[in-house]
């Protein structure tokens, strides 16, 4: 009875830094879970740093096919001037991969911010007001769920930029299509939390003192309903990259002269594989895999650490061993009640 309540670390009482999502999760983690979190965090940090310092790191520009010594050779194997080789069009693979992180970060930021804002607002209103507003919004959200996300993305790409795009046109097309697909996720989560919180005594006590609906939503429900957002944020970020790469692979991406894009490069590398040219496909592919892996690891670790039943702890009494508080109690409970 007292076990569950004592195991939840209260949010306040510590410095602001220690209460930040990732930092607090790191402090709470132990053993394998800490390893997963650290691995995810390092991969994500490498990804972000590469994006920020791309102009310094990349040996050439993303659309550069020649320098002072003349044109780059096409399909050159890794080594020498071009560490990871060059593509059939004469682009430097290493530079394309490094510049590609920038595109990926921009798409993630634009897509996820837009879907968080819209999803959270719609979820709060729909959950709190209820009635026919709620029903209509839920039906729309379900309808969007039913669409294959790539199909939506393709339609958006055509609507926004006529199918072929400049840098921002391409990024916006990808971002908006991802937004449309992700809004229902945020909407669903926030709406469910809002409905749960609506019947909590502290919301009722706000109603009893006469607080308006807007005040209740913004002051009492909003902060309490958004706890799971860091989790969906990281998981969606990795999905956003996959959608972007998928778009690029299908040819709805960004023209190589406007920005570097991993999916597009993979598409171009398709023909190379049969002739034994592995480097044009391998490195953009690895970049996608590692970025998605990093973000997913962070997301999954946060998920586990948020749940006191899944969170590992140091063994009591100082012995450092992973102890997973898995449903041993629950198991015993059912056993006992029936025996």
Partner 1 sequence: MSTTPIPAAPGAGQPAPVLSIQNLEVTFATDGGDVHAVRDVSLDVQPGEVVAIVGESGSGKTVTAKTILGLLPETATSAGVVLINGNNIISVSAAKLRQIRGRDVAMVFQEPSTALNPVFTVGWQIVEGIRAHTGKDSRVSSKEAKIRAIEALRKVGIPDPEVRFGHYPHQFSGGQKQRVVIAAALALNPGLIVADEPTTALDVTVQAEILQLLRDLRDSDGTSIVLITHNMGVVADLADRVVVMYQGDVVEEAPVAELFAAPRQDYTRALLAAVPHLGRDSASAGVTSRAHQDRKVLVSAENLTIEYPGRLGSPAFRAVDGVSFTLSEGEVFGLVGESGSGKTTIGRAIAGLNRTTGGSLKVLDYEMLTFKERSFKPLRKDIGFVFQDPAASFNPQLTIGECIVEPLVIHRNPTPAQARQRAGELLESVQLPASYAARYPHELSGGQRQRASLARALILNPKLLIADEPTSALDVSVQAKVLELFRDIQQEFGFAALFISHDLAVVDILSHWVGVLYRGSMVEQGIGSQVMGAPQHEYTKKLIASLPVPDPFEQARRREANRKLLGA
Does residue 83 interact with partner 1 by CB under 8 A?
no
Nearest to 98 by CA among 272, 286, 296: 286
Using the rule CB under 8 A, give the single segment among 139-147, 172-180, 198-206, 288-296 that binds partner 1.
Answer: 198-206
Does residue 198 interact with partner 1 by CB under 8 A?
no
Question: Of these, 68, 201, 275, 276, which contacts partner 1 (CB under 8 A)?
Answer: 201
Does residue 320 interact with partner 1 by CB under 8 A?
no
320: three-class secondary structure by DSSP: coil
**Residue 312: beta bridge partners?**
324
Question: Of these, 74, 202, 218, 270, which contacts partner 1 (CB under 8 A)?
Answer: 202
* Neighbour tally for 5: CB within 10 Å: 8
Length of the chain: 339
Does residue 333 interact with partner 1 by CB under 8 A?
yes
**Please, what is the minimum distance in Å from the beta carbon of residue 320 to partner 1?**
11
Judged by beta carbon, residue 139 or residue 322, the one nearer partner 1 is 322
Could you write out the DSSP letters of every residue in 49-107? Answer: HHHHTHHHH-SS-TT--EETTEEPPTTPPSBTTBTT-B-TT--BHHHHHHHHHHHHHHH
Question: Of these, 131, 146, 208, 274, which contacts partner 1 (CB under 8 A)?
Answer: 208
Question: Of these, 73, 145, 151, 315, which contacts partner 1 (CB under 8 A)?
Answer: 315
Judged by beta carbon, residue 3 or residue 56, the one nearer partner 1 is 3
Using the rule CB under 8 A, give the single segment among 73-81, 152-160, 277-285, 312-320 that binds partner 1.
Answer: 312-320
Question: Of these, 10, 70, 131, 148, which contacts partner 1 (CB under 8 A)?
Answer: 10
Judged by beta carbon, residue 28 or residue 166, the one nearer partner 1 is 28
The DSSP H or E segment spanning 166 is none
The DSSP H or E segment spanning 119 is helix 93-129
**Please, what is the minimum distance in Å from the beta carbon of residue 120 to partner 1?**
15
Which parts of 132-171 interact with partner 1 (CB under 8 A)? none
Question: Of these, 215, 271, 289, 310, which contacts partner 1 (CB under 8 A)?
Answer: 215
Does residue 16 interact with partner 1 by CB under 8 A?
no
**Please, what is the minimum distance in Å from the beta carbon of residue 216 to partner 1?**
10
219: three-class secondary structure by DSSP: helix
**Residue 324: beta bridge partners?**
312
Does residue 15 interact with partner 1 by CB under 8 A?
no
Question: Which residues neighbour 182 within 8 Å (Cβ) at sequence distance 6 or greater?
Answer: 111, 112, 115, 119, 236, 239, 240
Question: Of these, 23, 206, 282, 293, which contacts partner 1 (CB under 8 A)?
Answer: 206
What is the C-alpha separation between 294 and 39, in angstroms, rounded? 7
Does residue 200 interact with partner 1 by CB under 8 A?
yes
Could you write out the DSSP letters of every residue in 231-299? Answer: HHHHHHHHHHHHHHHHHHHHT-S--TTT---HHHHHHHHHHHHTTT--HHHHHHHHHHHHHHHHHHHHH
What is the C-alpha separation between 308 and 4, in angstroms, rounded? 8
Binding mask 106-125 for partner 1 (x = CB under 8 A): --------------------
Judged by beta carbon, residue 10 or residue 70, the one nearer partner 1 is 10
**Binding region for partner 1 (CB under 8 A):** 1-3, 6-13, 28, 200-202, 204-212, 215, 219-220, 223-224, 313-317, 323-326, 328-329, 332-339
């Amino acid at each position: 009875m007292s076990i569950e309540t004592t195991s939840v670390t209260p949010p306040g009482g510590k410095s602001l830094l220690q209460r930040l999502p990732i930092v607090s999760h790191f402090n709470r983690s132990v053993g394998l879970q800490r390893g997963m979190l650290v691995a995810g965090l390092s991969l994500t940090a490498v990804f972000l740093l590469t994006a920020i310092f791309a102009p310094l790191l990349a040996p050439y520009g993303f659309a550069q096919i020649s320098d002072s010594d003349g044109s780059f050779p096409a399909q050159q194997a890794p080594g020498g001037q071009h560490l990871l080789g060059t593509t059939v069009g004469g682009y430097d693979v290493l530079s394309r991969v490094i510049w590609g992180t920038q595109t990926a970060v921009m798409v993630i930021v634009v897509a996820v911010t837009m879907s968080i804002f819209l999803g959270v607002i719609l979820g709060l209103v729909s959950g709190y007001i209820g009635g026919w507003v709620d029903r209509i919004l839920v039906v729309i959200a379900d309808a969007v769920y039913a669409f294959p996300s790539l199909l939506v993305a393709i339609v958006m790409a055509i609507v926004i930029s006529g199918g072929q795009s400049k840098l921002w046109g391409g990024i916006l097309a990808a971002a908006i299509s991802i937004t449309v697909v992700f809004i229902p996720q945020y909407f669903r989560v926030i709406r469910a939390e809002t409905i749960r919180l609506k019947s909590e005594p502290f919301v009722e006590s706000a109603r009893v003192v006469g607080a308006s609906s807007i005040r209740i939503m913004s002051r009492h429900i909003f902060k309490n309903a958004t706890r799971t957002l860091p989790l969906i944020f990281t998981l969606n970020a990795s999905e956003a990259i996959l959608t972007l790469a998928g778009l690029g692979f299908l040819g709805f991406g960004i023209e190589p002269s406007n920005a570097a894009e991993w999916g597009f490069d993979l598409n171009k590398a398709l023909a190379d594989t049969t002739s034994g040219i592995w480097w044009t496909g391998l490195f953009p592919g690895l970049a996608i895999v590692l970025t998605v892996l990093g973000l997913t690891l962070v997301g999954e670790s946060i998920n586990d650490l948020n749940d006191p039943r899944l969170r590992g702890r140091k063994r009591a009494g100082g012995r450092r061993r992973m102890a997973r508080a898995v449903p041993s109690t629950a198991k015993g409970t059912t056993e006992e009640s029936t025996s």
